[in-house]
Amino acid sequence: MGVRVHGGSRDVAGRAFPALARVGCLDQVTLHTIDPTNAAVVADALETIRPSWIFNLAAQSSVHRSFERPGETVDGIVRGAVTVLEAIQRTRLDCRFLNASSSECFGDTGDMPANEETTFRPCSPYGVAKAAAHWTVAHHRQTYGLFACSGILFNHESPLRPDHYVTAKVVRGAADIAAGLAETLCLGDIDIQRDWGWAPQYVAAMVAMMNADTPQDLVIATGRLVSLQTFVAMVFEAFGLDWRRHVIAGAYPRRPYDPKIIAANPAMAQVRLGWQAKVDVAGVAARLAAAEQRRRAGHDCWVDMA
């Protein structure tokens, strides 16, 4: 396709980028040291690269850690989005911009799945920051005519998740138990309900948003809600285990406020983009378990990336 990909990190020289290496594209991405909150650095990068598309995925992305580092979380997410949008204006760059928004903007949805018209009621510093960045993008689109949009991404999983994410903790914990390296896995509240999807398909959704005729903010999700307990059961079953014999629930205190239910209605993405998630939570659990089994056997961890 003749596409050239550039990536930004706050410290290119000091990082090995193992995730890019694992998916086999480290040598295909030109990396730049870019602090997304530094206006001069961002403007210089845009002048140098002159990108046609910009995906703003930078964030302190752990909801749990956002309670410990609220200032850092809000500053990085909100100021980062503002800085890039203003740099696009100042450099008069003709490009399309997509911001990674979040289901955490909605807070607890109860029994009413969230769509593009649902009011934001975030319950964490991370959610507050993502909501502010979301409306910043909408403001620049409406006021300055930029092609700027936000993908309201619900939980999107892959084998690249670090250990502090609950899905990775469950998968690696189950693998340890199956291998005889552990006997139990301690978790917090397993009654929470979320919409878990497969990250590669969400990337396809973001690309579709960039290819659309007009910029629009869309909910990207599977539309299927399950409890963490259900996800745990699926993963443990993939390893031939009964989760009830190994999982200790409620072992950790709840966050200051943790939404019980965050449900999604992604119908508009199908109408506007023709996009629909093909992998639901059962497929996610199976793929993550298979990838972990392959990784521990010394093989490529990527299983059915479609």
Question: For residue range 2-42, what is the model confidence (pLDDT) as tens digits?
Answer: 789 999 988 888 788 888 888 888 899 999 999 988 999 99
pLDDT at residue 255 greater than cutoff 70: no
Q: Share the mean pLDDT of the chain.
A: 92
Whether the CB-CB separation of 169 and 231 falls below 8 Å is answered with no
pLDDT at 62: 66
Give CA torsion, residues 254, 260, 266, 267, to 10 deg: 180
Confidence of residue 70 (pLDDT cuts 50, 70, 90): confident
pLDDT at 210: 98
Q: What is the pLDDT averaged over residues 282-296?
A: 95
Kindly state the tokens that stand for 75: 């500053």
Whether the CB-CB separation of 192 and 108 falls below 8 Å is answered with no
- Catalytic residue ranges: 102, 104, 126
pLDDT at 93: 93
pLDDT at 234: 98
Confidence of residue 301 (pLDDT cuts 50, 70, 90): low
Residue that wins the pLDDT comparison between 286 and 17: 286
- The ranges assigned to domains in the chain are 5-160+197-224+264-280
Q: What fold is seen in the domain 5-160+197-224+264-280? A: Rossmann fold (3.40.50)
Tell me what percent of the residues of the chain surpass a pLDDT of 90.
Answer: 76
Compute the distance between CA of residue 234 and CA of residue 288 in angstroms, rounded to an integer: 11
Confidence of residue 302 (pLDDT cuts 50, 70, 90): low
Compute the distance between CA of residue 232 and CA of residue 190 in angstroms, rounded to an integer: 8
Kindly report which listed range (95-109, 213-227, 252-266) carries the lowest average pLDDT score: 252-266
pLDDT in tens, 186-241: 999 999 999 999 999 999 999 999 999 999 999 999 999 999 999 999 999 999 99
Confidence of residue 100 (pLDDT cuts 50, 70, 90): very high
pLDDT at 11: 84
Whether the CB-CB separation of 246 and 185 falls below 8 Å is answered with yes
pLDDT in tens, 125-135: 899 999 999 99
Amino acid occupying residue 117: E
pLDDT at 168: 96
Q: How many residues does the chain have?
A: 306
pLDDT at residue 71 greater than cutoff 90: no
Q: What is the pLDDT averaged over residues 294-298?
A: 90
pLDDT at residue 256 greater than cutoff 80: no
Kindly state the tokens that stand for 221: 């999700």
Residue that wins the pLDDT comparison between 99 and 14: 99
Residues with Cβ within 8 Å of 28's Cβ and at least 6 positions away in sequence, in order, are 5
pLDDT in tens, 147-157: 999 999 999 99
Judged by DSSP in three states, 156 sits in strand
